[in-house]
Structure 1
Amino acid sequence: MKPRRALLVIDVQNEYFTGNLPIEYPPTEISLPNITRAIDAARAADIPVIIIQHTAPAGAPIFDKGSPGWELHAEIAKRPYAALFEKTSASSFAGTGLGEWLTAHKIDTLTIVGYMTHNCDATTTFDAAGSGYSVEVLSDATGSLPYENRAGAASAEEIHRVFTVVMHSNFAAVLETSAWIESVETGRAPERGNLLVSNQTARNKRGAA
């Protein structure tokens, strides 16, 4: 049966381009064109595009509503969309009305692009999968930034890679934008991984080394 998709465009806001949280991997020079490609392909295929916009309280250092950093990137703002939801936490489902909209429109598959891979994308993916949605994450249309705190340090590339590997193991089909567009056009479902095979593949490669 053909999936009833919606494309979820999460937090493609200026904060990640010119603000205090610059995305590093993949660089926005790669991810933003892929996000807009996915939007354009979705619209051509009559897949509804849903915009998610993160909002923080007035005076917050990031995503302060009405500030330049809070605003959608111009490439997103100029494109038509079916719905827009503001959120105040990591999950696109928490207190937004997104779930009700998806139910009303009989959506069963969510394709996720936007930022950040390891935070709002991952939390939304886990919530969607737990709610019974089939989830797709476009790895080159998302992105991460580096962290360092008392628990340790990780580069943007490490964070992005680990989260996409984990998501593909059990929660989503992770694929590149070109492969997703081909899947939409041909009707062929994207490959999905699973936890057991992901672990066994890693163990077998380690044993072979």
Structure 2
Amino acid sequence: MSSASPRRALVVIDVQNEYFDGGGLPIEHPPIAQTLPNVARAMDAATQAGIPVVVVRHHAPAGAPVFQADTPAGALHDEIARRPRDHLVTKAFPSVFTGTDFAGWLQARNIDTLAVTGYMTHNCVASTLFEGLHRGLAMEYLHDASGALPYANAAGRASAEEIHRVFSVVFHSNFAAVTSTANWLEALKARQPLGRDNPVFSNRRGRGLPVD
């Protein structure tokens, strides 16, 4: 990765009431009590530093069981809605890029680095990280400003902790620099890029082998 100062934007994905108590998809890990304040901290720091903040919301088609635009559960959480933002994206697919003006908005501002927060780790966040990398952007993921929920289906069962942990490891192996909110705030202050790992080194570490 280049050592040049990154032209960042902060992306806040789907921090909507659907993911909180009373919603249909309550986030379990990391706890909302930890991740929501970290999203807010990142937003406040970005605004103070003059870094564009893009807030994203998901609206499902009429009749879907979640993310209805005209319901309280489909609304942005108050902590997000009340904060300044530079752009609002409404999407209908997991990736923020798909069917929206997001890519053009970034290109018009010469953004080369996206810091991603929000929900869910394994769905809309993952889709956005993968597509951003494929579009030539440097991707950053604030692992303690995002979260997952448990799944069970015909393929098996996984806890929220397992999903969040495994996706974070996979992200850092190739797709995004995975970092804490605190470390990201330091990088923001220093105007420094954050590096990711690579599949070969990640695999060698996983096998207990040296990487030097």
Using the size of structure 2 for normalisation, the TM-score is 0.95
Q: Deviations over 1:107-145 (max 9, x none)?
A: 000000000000000000000000000000000000000
- In structure 1, how many angstroms separate the alpha carbons of the residues matched to 2:75 and 2:65? 14
2:88 aligned counterpart, secondary structure: strand
1:25 aligned counterpart, secondary structure: coil
Q: Does 1:21 align with 2:25?
A: yes
Match of 2:36 in 1: 32
1:85 aligned counterpart, secondary structure: strand
Match of 2:13 in 1: 10
User: Which of 138, 142, 148 matches 1:144?
Assistant: 148
- Give 5+ residue unaligned stretches, structure 2: none
CA contact (8 A) 2:6 2:192 kept: no
- In structure 1, how many angstroms separate the alpha carbons of the residues matched to 2:117 and 2:74? 18
User: Which of 177, 180, 196 matches 1:176?
Assistant: 180
2:145 aligned counterpart, secondary structure: strand
- In structure 2, how many angstroms separate the alpha carbons of the residues matched to 1:82 and 1:188? 22
1:204 aligned counterpart, secondary structure: coil
- In structure 2, how many angstroms separate the alpha carbons of the residues matched to 1:158 and 1:87? 27
CA-CA distance at 1:190 after TM superposition: 2.1
Q: How does 1:117-128 map to 2 (within 5 A)?
A: 117-128=121-132
- Give 5+ residue unaligned stretches, structure 1: none
Match of 1:64 in 2: 68
Identity percentage of aligned residues: 54
Match of 1:165 in 2: 169
Q: How does 1:45-84 map to 2 (within 5 A)?
A: 45-84=49-88
Match of 2:92 in 1: 88
Q: Deviations over 1:2-29 (max 9, x none)?
A: 1100000000000000301000000100
- In structure 1, how many angstroms separate the alpha carbons of the residues matched to 2:104 and 2:167? 27
User: Which of 157, 160, 166 matches 1:153?
Assistant: 157
CA-CA distance at 1:178 after TM superposition: 0.2
- In structure 2, how many angstroms separate the alpha carbons of the residues matched to 1:66 and 1:176? 34
What's the C-alpha RMSD, in Å, of the aligned pairs? 0.8
Once structures 1 and 2 are overlaid, which stretch shifts more, 185-194 or 91-100? 185-194
- The count of residues paired between Structure 1 and Structure 2 equals 205
